[in-house]
């Protein structure tokens, strides 16, 4: 546990080396992780929720929702990176306003456990409803949670590399899949009709925005981001947001439109997993009859990566609550909490679909608002890196983000 | 350098152990799943593969009689080839209040789990279709074994009769029906419709679905004495099944049977309301999905052509006072494949007039199809859907009485013959010297110039 030395106010002490900065990942890896936060669950359940409201105009809602996400994330994350370079939101707050950091950590901690429980439920539904109906979803939940916990303990670097590999595969396979389903697509099915004006499109933007706001959770892990030489953290975080949102919006809009065009808006709206049903229909003559197995493999890969990332961020949040420097020790204990919530959160798939209709509201309350509060707190608190120098309180080692290891604290002893 | 040192630092702090644990758990889980510990495992040797399913009305009110044509794995796994006593497929029929229960009863009768993933065709009887297909479609789109890509067809008469068509070149019923459907769609007699397409058309505003119709026909009597033996019934089949099952005897009296696609069935929402005959089906398929090497024989002059083109582009124009007007364009390529009599195809006048005749004949069939649709009060061409997409507000005003209204809306068809090909010959083979081709051509032109 790291506590400010007695007699030294947080504003006057040097920030120890960031725990996240010990495991830097590149902009591409961080962007790939952001893509994983958005794509897998968006493709799974969002089409049903959106098309039920906006029918064939649903893909417009997708563009609108992701556009708003891009706008929000492209402002807030670079702002954080500029205000607290090399640190995640809670990390930055711990040394500026510990009290706020604990409370925000609590909010984020519960929100992330909730999100991970939802992801676990979605994995269970995907596999149980689509592939293995006789297998209890508890089995999928435990498997997914154990894998998520272990990958979170392994750290962000393996997650980032896995995510980057998947992002490449996704970019290659998306046009291939769309090309293979060319004969299924009837463009007239997704031409905008706007039978009831723009209102349904705007209303359907709400769940899209909810899924999109999950990208804001990267603020908690922004300390992992290692900018390229010559690039600032703010610029790197903007690149992350632009890449993640751009890829996610492109892929999901394409699959949205293709699903609507292949199944028709009414069939797509009553389908639990319309994207998977669309994959079922794709065949290449007598040669390739079923591609959904391959799709399921990559889908599961992606959603497990998301679960791992969310688990890691949840550890960070709870670590801020308990002031633990390397919060990954909380990885396994959190499994029990997430598992318990996943068992009591949603009763059935219908309830889940209805719940996702208000996911935009939930995400705004528990992802966006705490981030805004944190940013304001950081903005109002003087940076400990640039304190007003009190008399006789020279703080050595101000450049605490130096890669040369922990900065010595006053008194010459390294901060643990 | 900074990056390298920090990453190595991560590993030093114990990441290696976590990776080891990760891989141990991953390998354990994967091994557990693949070694038969999975709840949802399906052993190939425990499955009975259903290739075709037929749904008839049951004897009890609201019940279904579900017949399943199953692959005979005794011949399919290489023990022996299909013979009269070991046909490639056999049929099992059950009656149940729901399709779900029927599938479970089928499993109970077989001693193996009925597996429907490879069931390619679902045949529905006329009686069931007249009651409405919504409950069946709901089951087929809800159950994970029945993908939306399964094809739906309507049987004139009993659906289970369609499964009893062995003796044709194709041994498997499902495959036979699929190829018959594909062929019929080529010659413009039917359109292959999947479960998903039917469900979407039935639930969309301003369009009614159609389904292909098949009937069982007998081929000429053959000398197939060796095929006249009865099929040994499956072990476990009850006496009742033996009595009613169409597989109890195949090709009685040496008669081979096959299926024939005889047109399209018209639906109002999900209920069967009538039929489209050959020419009407031709016109409708030309509108819906175009022509694909579709044959057409003109009577005067007598010429057989192959048509390719489409589908038609349907546009609706709403005037300021709310009046509707449809235009449709169908662009077609024509190839001459058989010419009767003397006709000099190298002459431009002959070309022009023949193009008019072809366009007129296509238009006549489309008109006939639409007249029949109006008579049945259905909108299979999707005039209402086109209006909904183009002007949803106007659609909301006319939606209520649309089926009675659309026949009164003017529809202007334009069939454009894009190209006229003569095949590998430009002229007919000469048969005598007294009929000079030029004179014959003049006679044809005179005949063509008579008002149609």
> Minimal Cα–Cα distance from A272 to chain B, Å?
9
Q: Tokens at residue A76, please?
A: 């807030």
Would you call A150 an interface residue with chain B, using a CB distance cutoff of 8 Å?
Answer: yes
Provide mean pLDDT across the span B63-69: 94
3-class SS of residue A130 = helix
Residue B221 predicted with pLDDT over 50: yes
Whole-number pLDDT of residue B229: 43
Q: Residue A43 CB: number of other CB atoms within 10 A?
A: 24
Say if residue B446 is exposed, middle or buried (CB neighbours under 10 Å; 0-12, 13-18, 19+): exposed
Measured between beta carbons, which residues in chain A are less than 8 angstroms from residue B203? Answer: 264, 266-267
Whole-number pLDDT of residue A105: 95
Measured between beta carbons, which residues in chain B are less than 8 angstroms from residue A21? Answer: 6
pLDDT interval class at B217 (50, 70, 90):
confident
Measured between beta carbons, which residues in chain B are less than 8 angstroms from residue A226? Answer: 3
Question: Would you say residue A198 lies in a domain?
Answer: yes
ipTM of the complex: 0.77
The residue in chain A having the minimum alpha-carbon distance to the alpha carbon of residue B15 is A154
Of A133, A263, A270, the CB nearest to B144: A133
Distance of alpha carbon B183 from alpha carbon B292, whole angstroms: 10
Question: Would you say residue A145 lies in a domain?
Answer: yes
CATH homologous superfamily for the domain B278-452: Nutrient germinant receptor protein C, domain 3 (3.30.300.210)
Strand partners, B249: B230
Distance of alpha carbon B180 from alpha carbon B164, whole angstroms: 15
Q: Where in chain B are the domains? A: 44-276, 278-452
Residue B394 predicted with pLDDT over 60: yes
For B410-424, write each residue's pLDDT tens digit: 988 888 888 888 778
Report CA Rg, chain A: 22
Question: Would you say residue A253 lies in a domain?
Answer: yes
Q: Which residues of chain A have pLDDT under 70?
A: 1-19, 21, 285-289, 383-416
Of A155, A266, A280, the CB nearest to B203: A266
CB pairs under 8 A between A and B: 97
Question: Would you say residue A403 lies in a domain?
Answer: no
Question: Would you say residue A231 lies in a domain?
Answer: yes
Q: Residue B406 CB: number of other CB atoms within 10 A?
A: 23
For B132-172, write each residue's pLDDT tens digit: 999 999 999 888 788 777 899 999 989 999 988 766 677 78
The residue in chain A having the minimum alpha-carbon distance to the alpha carbon of residue B142 is A271
Of B2, B25, B39, the CB nearest to A135: B39
**Contact of B90 with B241, CB cutoff 8 Å:** no
For B257-305, write each residue's pLDDT tens digit: 788 899 999 999 899 999 999 899 999 998 888 888 888 998 878 889 9
Question: Would you say residue A256 lies in a domain?
Answer: yes
**Better-predicted residue by pLDDT, B252 or B318:** B318
Question: Would you say residue A85 lies in a domain?
Answer: yes
Phi-psi region of B266 (alpha: psi -120 to 50; beta: other; left: phi over 0): beta
Q: How far is CA B312 from CA A370, B7, B137, in A?
A: 56, 62, 28
Would you call B452 an interface residue with chain A, using a CB distance cutoff of 8 Å?
Answer: no
**Looking at the 3D structure of chain A, how many domains does it have?**
1
Helix axes A98-130, A369-380, angle to 10 degrees: 160
| Residue span of the structural domain in which A144 resides | 21-380
The residue in chain A having the minimum alpha-carbon distance to the alpha carbon of residue B8 is A23
* Mean pLDDT of the residues in chain B: 80
Whole-number pLDDT of residue B33: 61
Question: Would you say residue A399 lies in a domain?
Answer: no
CATH number at A205 reads: 1.20.1740.10
Token look-up 């192959």 returns B306
For B236-249, write each residue's pLDDT tens digit: 334 443 333 344 44
Measured between beta carbons, which residues in chain A are less than 8 angstroms from residue B204? Answer: 264, 266
Whole-number pLDDT of residue A286: 63
What ranges make up the beta strands (E) of A167-275?
none
Question: Measured between alpha carbons, how far apart are the two ends of chain A, in Å?
Answer: 8
């Amino acid at each position: 546990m790291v506590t400010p030395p007695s007699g030294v106010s947080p504003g006057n002490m040097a920030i120890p080396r960031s725990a996240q900065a010990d495991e830097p990942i590149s902009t591409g890896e961080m962007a790939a992780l952001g893509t994983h936060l958005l794509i897998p669950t968006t493709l799974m359940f969002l089409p049903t929720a959106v098309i039920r409201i906006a029918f064939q105009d649903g893909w417009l809602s997708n563009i609108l929702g992701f556009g708003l996400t891009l706008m929000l994330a492209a402002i807030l994350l670079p702002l954080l990176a500029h205000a607290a370079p090399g640190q995640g939101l809670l990390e930055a707050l711990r040394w500026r306003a510990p009290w706020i950091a604990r409370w925000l950590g609590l909010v984020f901690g519960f929100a992330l456990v909730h999100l991970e429980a939802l992801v676990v439920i979605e994995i269970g539904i995907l596999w149980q409803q689509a592939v293995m109906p006789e297998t209890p979803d508890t089995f999928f939940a435990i498997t997914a949670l154990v894998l998520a916990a272990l990958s979170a303990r392994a750290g962000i670097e393996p997650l980032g590399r896995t995510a980057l590999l998947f992002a490449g595969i996704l970019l290659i396979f998306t046009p291939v899949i769309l090309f293979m389903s060319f004969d299924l697509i009837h463009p007239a099915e997704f031409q905008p009709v706007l039978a009831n004006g723009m209102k349904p499109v705007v209303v359907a933007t709400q769940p899209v925005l909810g899924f999109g706001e999950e990208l804001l959770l990267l603020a908690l892990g922004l300390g992992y981001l290692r900018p390229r030489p010559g690039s600032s953290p703010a610029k790197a975080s903007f690149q992350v947001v632009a890449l993640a949102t751009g890829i996610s919006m492109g892929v999901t809009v394409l699959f949205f439109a293709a699903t609507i065009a292949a199944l028709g808006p009414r069939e797509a709206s009553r389908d639990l997993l319309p994207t998977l049903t669309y994959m079922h229909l794709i065949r290449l003559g007598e040669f390739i009859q079923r591609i959904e197995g391959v799709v399921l493999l990559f889908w599961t890969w992606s959603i497990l990566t998301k679960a791992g990332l969310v688990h890691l961020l949840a550890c960070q949040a709870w670590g801020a609550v308990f002031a633990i420097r390397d919060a990954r020790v909380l990885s396994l204990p959190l499994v029990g909490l997430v598992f318990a919530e996943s068992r009591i959160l949603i009763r059935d798939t219908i309830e889940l679909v209805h719940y996702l209709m208000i996911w935009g509201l939930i995400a705004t309350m528990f992802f966006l608002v705490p981030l805004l509060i944190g940013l304001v707190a950081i903005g109002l608190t003087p940076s400990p890196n640039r304190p007003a120098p009190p008399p006789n309180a020279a703080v050595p080692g101000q450049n605490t983000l130096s890669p040369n290891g922990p900065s010595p604290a006053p008194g010459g002893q390294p901060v643990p | 350098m900074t990056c390298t040192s920090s990453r190595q630092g991560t590993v030093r702090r114990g990441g290696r152990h976590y990776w080891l644990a990760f891989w141990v758990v991953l390998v354990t889980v994967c091994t557990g799943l693949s070694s038969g510990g999975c709840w949802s495992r399906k052993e190939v040797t425990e499955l009975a593969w259903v290739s075709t399913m037929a749904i008839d009305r049951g004897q009890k009110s609201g019940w279904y009689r579900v017949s399943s044509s199953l692959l005979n794995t005794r011949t399919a796994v290489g023990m022996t080839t299909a013979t009269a006593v070991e046909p490639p497929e056999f049929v099992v029929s059950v009656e149940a209040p729901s399709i779900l229960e029927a599938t479970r009863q089928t499993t109970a009768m077989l001693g193996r789990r009925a597996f429907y993933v490879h069931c390619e065709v679902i045949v529905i009887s006329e009686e069931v279709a007249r009651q409405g297909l919504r409950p069946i479609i709901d089951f087929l789109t809800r159950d994970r074994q029945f993908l939306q890509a399964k094809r739906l067809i309507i049987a004139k008469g009993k659906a289970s009769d369609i499964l009893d068509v062995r003796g044709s070149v194709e041994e498997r019923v499902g495959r036979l029906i699929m190829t018959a459907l594909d062929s019929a769609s080529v010659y413009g007699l039917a359109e292959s419709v999947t479960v998903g397409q039917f469900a979407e058309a039935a639930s969309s505003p301003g369009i009614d679905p159609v389904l292909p119709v098949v009937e069982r026909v007998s081929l000429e009597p053959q000398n197939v004495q060796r095929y006249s033996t009865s099929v040994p019934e499956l072990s476990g089949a009850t006496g009742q099944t033996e009595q009613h099952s169409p597989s109890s005897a195949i090709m009685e009296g040496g008669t081979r049977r096959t299926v024939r696609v005889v047109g399209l069935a018209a639906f109002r929402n999900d209920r069967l309301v009538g039929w489209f005959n050959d020419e009407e089906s031709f016109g409708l398929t030309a509108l819906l999905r175009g022509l694909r090497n579709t044959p057409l024989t003109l009577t005067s002059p007598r010429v057989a052509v192959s048509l390719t083109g489409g589908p038609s582009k349907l546009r609706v124009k709403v005037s300021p006072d709310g009046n509707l007007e449809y235009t449709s364009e169908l662009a077609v390529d024509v190839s001459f494949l058989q010419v009767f009599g003397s006709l000099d195809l190298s002459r431009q006048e002959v070309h022009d007039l023949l193009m008019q005749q072809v366009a007129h004949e296509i238009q006549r069939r489309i008109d006939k199809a639409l007249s029949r649709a109006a008579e049945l009060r259905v909108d299979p061409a999707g005039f209402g859907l086109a209006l909904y997409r183009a002007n949803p507000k106007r659609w909301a005003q006319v939606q209520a009485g649309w089926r009675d209204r659309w026949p009164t809306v003017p529809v202007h068809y334009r069939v454009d013959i894009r190209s006229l090909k003569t095949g590998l010959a430009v002229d007919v083979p000469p048969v005598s010297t007294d009929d000079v081709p030029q004179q014959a051509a003049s006679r044809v032109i005179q005949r063509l110039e008579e008002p149609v």
